[in-house]
Every structure is written in structure tokens, then in C-alpha cells.
Structure 1
Amino acid sequence: MTEIRTPRLLLRRWSPDDDLAPLADIQADPAVMQHIGDGAPLSLDETAESIERWEDEWDDEGFGVFAVELLGSGELAGAVGLYVPDAPPQIADHIGIQWRLGRQFWGQGYASEAAQASLEFALQDRGIDRVVAAVPDGDTSSPKVLAKLGMAQTGQTNGIRLYAIDLTEFQG
């Protein structure tokens, strides 16, 4: 089982029995979901599909989106990790990084901490040499996290800013 510990977080595979309800609460929040997918909150069934898709990607690709748990309390803070985007075409089939945290966990550095650990995992454990990200124009928080990771904007398409980092230059 793949697990990563940071000073404050445990990044781990998903346990649908334990993680479905707390992740469904996170993904039901319009503020959390406003810049993800079509911007709509997700239902319990859609959240179950998210977990299943992420676990399938782990099985198929050897990487995926982690469940992010606070070490102190064991509380699920959200989801952070690697995935293969299908759009926009400029980054489709590359390896992307994404995150979504419950609103109560915003502004505490958890997204940056978990994303940093995910990039280190990509480079050191999986030998991935490049990671991309797509950020809608209205999202002002994600570019701050990407800057902390050393990711640079590489382009823009249809209201989406594209970012990338060559992990051979990554300073983990």
C-alpha cells in the first residue's frame, strides 16, 4: 500500500467505507468545486465514482490521487495527487496534478504540502519526468500553490491557464 507521511499529513490510498462520506461532504460544497470540472458540486454517487476512478488509476498507472488525512486527528482533509487528464488537448495524456480540500482546511498550507509530496513521489518513486496542471482563469488560489511547487505557466487555452514542471529540475 502506498503511503506518504509529511510533517502534518498522511497521503494514502482510498478506503471507500471510511472516506466516502467525508469526501462527499467536501465535494458537495460549491466553493470547493467551483473550479473543478464543470464547477458543480458532486452527489454521494458521483463521489463514489470519483473514488473508484482514482483507485482504478492507481491500479492501471501505478499512481493516482491520494486521500489526504491529518496526522493529528485522522480527519480526511481532501484529495491530492496525480492523474492523466483528458482535456484540454495540450495536456491530455500527460500526467497532471490536482487537489481539492475541505474549506475548513484552506489557507493552512495543506495543499502545498500534499502537492509537494506528490511531486516528490512522481519523480523519486515513479520516475515521472514532467507534471502538468490546468487552472481556470477565475481560480486565484491554485496558481499560488503551483508557484510554491516551482511550476511555470506554459500557455493558455479557452480560459484555462496551463502549467508544467520538468521534475529533473524540481527542488523537492
Structure 2
Amino acid sequence: MTEIHTPRLLLRRWSDDDLIPLADINADPHVMRWVGDGSVLDADGTEEAVEGWEEEWDEEGFGIFAVELLGSGELVGAVGLSVPEFLPEVLPAAQITWRLGRSFWGQGYASEAAQATLEFALQDRGLDRVVGIVRPGDEGSKNVLRKLGMEPERATTHPLYGFPLHVHSIDLSEYQG
């Protein structure tokens, strides 16, 4: 089982006990406004998402982690890697992504978990390139990408939803770990 410990967090695979707290996070419109088309997810949609993330772990050897606080075991959210098949122009690459409950914003958890995930991608999994895909206006996520050392690569449009996207990237030769 793949686990990553940071000073404050445990990144791990998903369990059934994570579904209700993640469904609560996914039901918050403020959390979901930058995810996909901005729609919230109900419990069934959350379960489908976790099933898809677990399938990606099995197929790719990486995926989206459940993120919990080390001290309390409370679920903070989801951080990890996925293949951005919806945007073929950036392939081959893995996309780093995160989604944290609103009560955990502004405490550096997204940056801490994303940094550990980037190190996992480039050093443990041997990936050559990782991208971050954000929508204009999502300044919090852009700030995390800057902290990771990712540089703007291109502007594009989401092929399904039609809104603008900014792609940032880093490759193994640029990574300062």
C-alpha cells in the first residue's frame, strides 16, 4: 500500500470510511467551483469518483490520495495524480490536483500534500513531466503551482465545457526537490 507521510499529513489510498467525509467536501459549492464544470457531487458521485481514482492506481501506478491529518485522522481532502485524458494536447503527462475541505484552506495543507505528491511522481514513479491545469481566477491553485516550481506552459480551452484553462508544468530536469 502506498503511503506518504509529511510533517502534518498522511497521504494514503482510500477506504470506505472516507466516503462520507469526502461527500461532505464534494457537496460544498465553494470547494467544487474550480473542479470539472463546477458542479457539486452527491454521495453516489463521490463513490464513483473514488472508484475511478482507485482504478487509475491499479492501471497507472499512481492516483489520487486520501489526505488525513496525522494527529486526528480527520480527512482533509484529496490530492494526487491523474492522466488528463480530457486534454490530449498536454499528453503524455500526469496532472497534479487537489481538493480540500474549506475548513482546511489557508493552512498550507494543499502545498504540503502537493509537494509530497510531486516528489512521489518524479522520484518514486519516475514520471518525466507533471502538469497543473487551472482556470483563470483560481488564484489559490496558481499559488500552489508556483510553490511547486511549475511554470506557465500554455493557455487553452476546456474541450467539453468551453472555458479557458492555463497549463503549468515541470519536468524532472527542472525539479529542485
TM-score interval (norm. to shorter): over 0.9
Offset of residue 167 of structure 1: 2.2
User: How many matched pairs?
Assistant: 171
Name the Cα RMSD after superposition: 0.9
Q: Structure 2: state its 5+ residue gaps.
A: 158-163
Offset of residue 129 of structure 1: 1.1
Q: Structure 1: state its 5+ residue gaps.
A: none
Matches within 5 A, 1:121-136: 121-136=120-135
Offset of residue 124 of structure 1: 1.5
Does residue 12 of structure 2 align to residue 12 of structure 1? Answer: yes
Does residue 159 of structure 2 align to residue 160 of structure 1? Answer: no
- State the alpha-carbon separation in 2 of the partners of residues 63 and 32 from structure 1: 23
CA deviation profile, 1:90-126 (whole Å, cap 9, x unmatched): 2255211000000000000000000000011111211
Identical pairs, percent: 66
Which region of structure 1 is more displaced relative to structure 2, 81-90 or 40-49?
81-90
What is the TM-score when the length of structure 2 is the normalising length? 0.94
Report the equivalent of 1:114. 113
CA contact (8 A) 1:95 1:132 kept: yes
Offset of residue 19 of structure 1: 0.3
Offset of residue 85 of structure 1: 0.8
What is the TM-score when the length of structure 1 is the normalising length? 0.96
> Which residue identity lines up with residue 154 of structure 1 in the other structure?
E
Does residue 96 of structure 2 align to residue 91 of structure 1? Answer: no
Does residue 61 of structure 2 align to residue 62 of structure 1? Answer: yes
